[in-house]
Structure 1
Amino acid sequence: MKKIDFVIAWVDGGDPKHQAKRQQFQSKVSVKGAAEDTRFASNDEIYFCIASILKYVPYLGTIYIVTDDQKPTYLDEFIAQGLCHSDQIQVVDHTTIFKGYEQYLPTFNSLSIETMLWNIPNLSQHFIYLNDDFFFNAPSELADFLTDQQTKIYGHWVSNAFIQLKFNWRKGVNRYFGKPLQPKYTIAQMLSAVLCGFDRYYEIHHRPHLLDQMTLKAYFEKNPKVLAEQIQYRFRSALQFLPIGLNNHLKIQHHQAILCEDIEIAYLKNEASITQFLLSLQQKSIKFGCIQSLDQLSSVQQQHILSALKLKFKDYLPQSLSC
């Protein structure tokens, strides 16, 4: 069976050392939300992410955890408990993926970090990227992502026209009146399509995504200015494109993609979504999930969610997590 690697970006925003480093730069940030604590919060989601991969993904190669001089506290327990091979989970520092681009460090910007994932040493050509709050909700097969070297992309087409018009208007307001440009997920996706010459973008949502290391590396080697402009921002900027979107539109452009309709995910988005999220955890037809902004819920609600996740992944989690 073909094996491919998994990459998870992770940060412990509660780490005093990381907070001090972040505070050196965030006073210059005028964009709402770009430096808020919730963007860097860690509530043990990464352990559920890893446990879900170990439980449901037979085609797993190596899991790379991308961090900034940090390491999840219980990470070694996956190995100690025999849940994976001794070298199957590896921590990769920002200094490694930004090798040759060290002038852009430190960075606290997920879009900049995602842009450099292709630079992980020994990474498989095709790899699956996850935010640390993503997880697999049911058994998966490689064909969920890759078929005959064709990347499966789940989403739908959206015209650039209205979003581009609105973005240009906002840039004008910023230029003449100084109103900050707020980063938007839709704009970042649109910008990734524009780089490939598309007048529409294939919109994607919060789930694991298949990326191609060689495709991204070749593009940035050919377009070094695009890369430099993208990773110059220490915090998220409205002028940045979505790296996953760039990968996808390059694949579409090269006729290496299979476009699939949107699929349902187990999505914890806010308090109103708790009941449906808990129901979705039990549905095998829902293969992927996302635990977004867990820290925004009450302590009782958080414990309810965490208890359900611990039960679902109980044989694949670090023992310390259940203490």
Structure 2
Amino acid sequence: MDNKIDFVVLWVDGKDPKWVEEKLKYLPDNDESPENEIARFRDWENMKYWFRAVEKFAPWVNKIHFVTWGHVPSFLDVNNPKINIVKHDNIIEKKYLPTFNSCAIEVNINKIPGLQEKFVYFNDDTFLLRKVRKEDFFVNGLPCIEGLEEAISPVGDSSAFTHSLINNIDIINRNFNKHEQHRKYFNKFFNIKYGIQNIRNISLLIWKRYTGFKNSHLPTPFLKSTWDEVWEKEKKVLDETTSHKFRSYYDVNQYLFRQWQTASGQFHPQLAQGKGFEISDENIDKIQDTIEKQKYKMICLNDGNNISDFDELKSKIIRSFDKVLPEKSAYEK
């Protein structure tokens, strides 16, 4: 069995004047959508620590596929043999470009030339904090996932994200019978590793269809063949998402493929090995403490809206990362 595992990460330089100019050409007038607010695109300037962490904590990675509009961070050594720069036109049809929709990019990453069957998908706000093994992501050829369900609940922020989750579940319920899958893969959906969290799936048994899945916003293992299967069965939906230049209520996103792996039983049960934070004035001290003490194997630092001084918080996070990862990596010039 091929034991090679690739990493895939999406990145955008929201300050690139050429990118900004192109984005403004297509942005509707008077657009006030939360999908296009500054927090979606601004750069926390901590990407070099992502690469340092990969080198230190996951030196076994086969290849890093760096997916970008065309720009790359100034520090990045694009000649490093482990780095593959993937431009949007390498994976998305020209008629759909340019795109500023992360969902459109995500659903097409299985088209990356040379992508291994086993890969881990990162957003650019997800980082490794401690050593990880291949077995943290794949066991017996299957991705390690929490087979935990939940009820989707909009939070009232008018964002498209919850709508995408609902669209995902619509597709899952179209292709899978929840109770049949529970019977077939009982030990994966009701597993001792989940502990008290088994109550999630038990409490939702009264609903005969899936109401949603727990989605930890952390690096996620995938099988490329799963993405290929979803494209084969749901091409119309995925093409529709690809056609949207900005996030919309009609998109699906990368969680569809995770949920497909879960609903199909093609996963190894495992609890999430990290924690997600929304950066804010109130929790910046907790975030710094988490990074500096390396409390988890992985962390997500989601850009938030409750930030009074972006530059100050950015500097604090950079200082914390630099305490853990002070040495320049081979991925840097």
Deviations 1:140-188 (A, max 9, x none): 011211111222123731135xx4xx79xx9xxxxxxxxxx93343332
Equivalent residue, structure 2, for 1:193: 169
Equivalent residue, structure 2, for 1:289: 299
Equivalent residue, structure 1, for 2:192: none
Equivalent residue, structure 2, for 1:275: 285
SS in 2 for 1:118: helix
Bigger proportion of residues as strand: 1
CA RMSD after TM alignment: 2.7
Equivalent residue, structure 2, for 1:216: 227
Match of 1:144 among 113, 133, 136: 136
Residues 301, 252 of structure 1: CA spacing in aligned structure 2 closer, same or farther, 3 A cutoff?
closer
The answer to whether residue 249 in structure 2 is matched with residue 238 in structure 1 is yes
Aligned 8 A contact 1:155 1:204 in 2: no
The answer to whether residue 318 in structure 2 is matched with residue 306 in structure 1 is yes
Residues 297, 75 of structure 1: CA spacing in aligned structure 2 closer, same or farther, 3 A cutoff?
farther
Q: Offset at 1:224?
A: 1.9
Q: Distance in 2 between matches of 1:27 and 1:153?
A: 38
SS in 2 for 1:23: helix
Deviations 1:278-301 (A, max 9, x none): 221244551111233289452333
Aligned 8 A contact 1:193 1:200 in 2: yes
SS in 2 for 1:140: coil
SS in 2 for 1:265: strand
Q: Distance in 1 between matches of 2:122 and 2:299?
A: 11
AA partner of residue 45 (structure 1): N
Aligned 8 A contact 1:111 1:240 in 2: yes
Q: Offset at 1:193?
A: 2.3
Aligned 8 A contact 2:131 2:297 in 1: yes
Residues 158, 24 of structure 1: CA spacing in aligned structure 2 closer, same or farther, 3 A cutoff?
same
Deviations 1:1-38 (A, max 9, x none): 93311111011110110000000011257462222222
Deviations 1:87-121 (A, max 9, x none): 111211000011xx221110001111001100000
TM-score normalised by L of structure 2: 0.80
SS in 2 for 1:241: coil
AA partner of residue 224 (structure 1): K
Aligned 8 A contact 1:268 1:277 in 2: no
Aligned 8 A contact 2:44 2:314 in 1: no
SS in 1 for 2:36: coil
Name structure 2 gaps, 5 residues minimum. Answer: 174-208
Name structure 1 gaps, 5 residues minimum. Answer: 80-85, 171-180
Q: Offset at 1:262?
A: 4.4
Equivalent residue, structure 2, for 1:121: 113
Q: How does 1:16-165 map to 2 (within 5 A)?
A: 16-28=17-29, 30=31, 32-76=33-77, 86-98=80-92, 101-154=93-146, 156-159=148-151, 163=153
Residues 282, 305 of structure 1: CA spacing in aligned structure 2 closer, same or farther, 3 A cutoff?
closer
SS in 2 for 1:272: coil
TM-score normalised by L of structure 1: 0.82
The percent of aligned pairs where both chains have the same amino acid is 23
The answer to whether residue 266 in structure 2 is matched with residue 256 in structure 1 is yes
AA partner of residue 42 (structure 1): D
Q: Offset at 1:272?
A: 1.3
AA partner of residue 306 (structure 1): I
Residues 116, 29 of structure 1: CA spacing in aligned structure 2 closer, same or farther, 3 A cutoff?
farther
The answer to whether residue 222 in structure 2 is matched with residue 225 in structure 1 is no
Q: Distance in 2 between matches of 1:153 and 1:319?
A: 29
Q: Distance in 1 between matches of 2:147 and 2:287?
A: 21
